[in-house]
Structure formats: structure tokens, C-alpha cells
């Protein structure tokens, strides 16, 4: 697998579901704001609704820091709607759910599992310029932490704004950062 850090999004267009409506989302719609692409294996499954619900709990916080969320599975937008209609947990989701039945997005982001035709659990932080700044990929049975994903977005935004400073482990906005230089070598 190739490293995706600083890789630009490709031109894509896919059908999506959001709050009772179908829409088309393209790479152009992603530009101009921070974004999270949140891949999961399948609708109507087990770990997936726990993750999507947890991400929904942090959605307003993400919007407040200028970040949009796109969940993605290899299901269609029709299946996303059916899942939202059938399940109270998914029915409460306010962010956009992208359909990826051809696997084009899953393959680009390197999370497509050829054997199952599903996506591994991948979380990608994308800058307003459409450039991947952070990501993690989990096996299908390992759920993720949405609060940590928020922290990664905040850190990526800080580094983008203050390029001469970096964020140490467990950093949160308002905490001390580091300014790389010879004075820090061997002192941390």
C-alpha cells in the first residue's frame, strides 16, 4: 500500500443520502472546507452503526470547526436510505452518506477488500484543498474513536495555520505546542 499523506483527491462523482434526500456529491463539493471520509464495511451490520452513531454525536462539534463528514460504504444510496428508515440509530444521522457500489472511492483511499467487496474501516482527514492530511485504517471488526478523529482534525488545522509549530501526543486546542528546532533535540 502506498502512503496517502499529501495525496490530492481524484475527480469523482457519486450518489449519496442525507436526511431523507438523495443528492450527488463530487470532489468539487468537498473543496473549500475540511472533510472527513469515514469508510465502513456495510449497512445493516454490527460495529458500523455504533461508529456512525458515535460520529453523529461529534458532528456538530466538527461542523463548528469547519469540517464536513462523509461516511462511505460500498452500499448504494438506496440502501443508506433503507437503513435510515429501518433503524432509529441511523435515522438520526445528519451528515452525508456516500454510496460507493463500484468501489471507486474505497479503492482510491486504499481500503477496498477485494475478497468481500467491502471497505475496511478507514478514517481520512482532508484539507480544504482536497489533500489527505491524516488517516488510519482498521480491520473490519475494530471500531474507532470519534473523539480522537475530532482531535486529529483540530491538530491538522493548527499545523496548517501555524506551520512552524507541531502538536505533541494527545494535544488539544489551547494546549502547548512545539516549535521544532535544535534547542529541543534531546530535551523532550
pLDDT tens string 155-173: 999 999 998 999 999 999 9
Find the catalytic residue in 9, 16, 36, 48. 48
In the predicted structure, residue 1 carries a pLDDT above the cut 70: no
| CB 71 within 8 Å of CB 97 | yes
Domain range annotation of the chain = 13-161
User: What pLDDT, on a 0 to 100 scale, did the predictor assign at position 145?
Assistant: 96
Superfamily of domain 13-161: Glutaredoxin (3.40.30.10)
Residues 53-103 have pLDDT tens digits of: 999 999 999 999 999 999 999 999 999 999 999 999 999 999 999 999 999
Query: Residues with Cβ < 8 Å from 109, sequence gap 6 or more?
Result: 4, 37, 39, 122, 124, 135
Determine the pLDDT at residue 160: 96
48 is catalytic: yes
Amino acid at each position: 500500500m502506498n502512503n496517502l499523506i499529501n495525496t490530492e483527491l481524484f475527480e469523482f462523482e457519486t450518489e449519496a443520502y442525507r436526511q431523507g434526500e438523495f443528492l450527488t456529491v463530487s470532489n468539487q463539493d468537498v473543496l473549500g472546507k475540511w472533510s472527513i471520509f469515514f469508510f465502513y464495511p456495510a449497512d445493516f451490520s454490527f460495529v458500523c452503526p455504533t461508529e456512525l452513531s458515535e460520529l453523529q454525536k461529534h458532528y456538530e462539534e466538527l461542523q463548528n470547526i469547519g469540517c464536513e463528514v462523509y461516511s462511505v460504504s460500498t452500499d448504494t444510496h438506496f440502501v443508506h436510505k433503507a437503513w435510515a428508515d429501518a433503524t432509529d440509530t441511523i435515522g438520526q444521522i445528519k451528515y452525508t452518506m456516500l454510496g460507493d457500489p463500484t468501489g471507486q472511492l474505497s479503492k482510491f483511499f486504499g481500503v477496498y477488500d477485494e475478497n468481500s467487496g467491502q471497505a475496511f474501516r478507514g478514517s481520512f482527514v482532508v484539507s480544504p484543498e482536497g489533500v489527505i492530511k491524516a488517516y488510519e485504517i482498521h480491520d473490519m471488526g475494530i471500531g474507532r474513536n470519534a473523539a480522537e478523529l475530532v482531535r486529529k482534525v483540530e491538530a491538522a488545522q493548527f499545523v496548517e495555520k501555524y506551520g512552524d509549530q507541531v502538536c505533541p501526543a494527545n494535544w488539544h486546542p489551547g494546549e502547548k505546542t512545539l516549535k521544532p528546532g535544535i534547542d529541543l533535540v534531546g530535551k523532550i
